[in-house]
Structure 1
């Protein structure tokens, strides 16, 4: 009996409902007629590899050398080929992977060797990390500064991709208030002084402004390439 296939879009929809709306895997499974264990497995892949982990074919995740990545980026910046064509030409997992390398290069991040298949980029087994409010602010600031590169931020701070994604999303939706851990174990927003709140808000707004400017500069560079 063949295994039923599910689209990446459906997988992502259910995983985000679990992470953002805090709907249990069991309830999602009952609503969509899918085994809860299957949705939980998707959640684990998302926590570990991000959206790429939900692709139908993901055997070649994390198998690219720094030299190969740089070669692809430079070929793209040469202006004669698209990210989609590069992915097809070199059998790269997805065009989004190429775009990630391009963004890292333009953000002056080092293009490093990917780890071998089966070795996670984030915390071991996608484990969730307990954090303080200040740590979450630092993580969100870092993620925004890297152009919302959830994977690299999660790897740097030893937390899961899903955690970083949710914190950034909550900050964008609710500001600093969205980063408060409502389980009551960490310092509450109301306990922050006005100066502490202002400093935190200014840091994150500065990060957003810098990233927006980098996006503008990046688009200008692409426009110049296309005009050649």
Structure 2
């Protein structure tokens, strides 16, 4: 039975990282000798490079990141210019799981709360029909820059995407908020209108699900490439 180290001291972690950085060992060999996963070694290296040896000291509480910082990191990744590892290192995050959590929250719900360093979603702002139209027209006029529009108007990436698609399919009527009771002066929809809008809603639901699938595939592909480099 192979002997496995259960827990490494801070000094041992620093030595492991420095041995790798000095070219004395590969990540896979180091991970095997230390009895930890190779991804753990990579995380230690990233922390060491960002914060120095003291970064490997135990932390008593989560680091604080502003809402703006989180959005900036997420959009850097979603724009497709940098992968998970690059963005994680660029923003000094301790591991890519943290970035993956931010991506999931942002694309699903929107803005973050920055209190206590958490990633809770803030309450969604309600936008009037006129505001939605302005947001859509701005996005279209700027070459469908969903990310930039989301930041400018403090609205979720997903909402911008959905509003643009509804506008292109149904016009301004597609941006109306039909939730709750209808106003007395509003005309009832015809069966044809109801069917058209229902079809559009189902299509948007499918598109949203496909976006989630594509995002997951992208993350897995980047992880696969990282593994092949080892």
Same fold (TM over 0.5): no
TM-score range, shorter chain: 0.3 to 0.5
Q: TM-score, normalised by structure 2?
A: 0.33
Q: Relative CO higher for 1 or 2, CA cutoff 8 Å, sep ≥ 6?
A: 1
Q: TM-score, normalised by structure 1?
A: 0.33
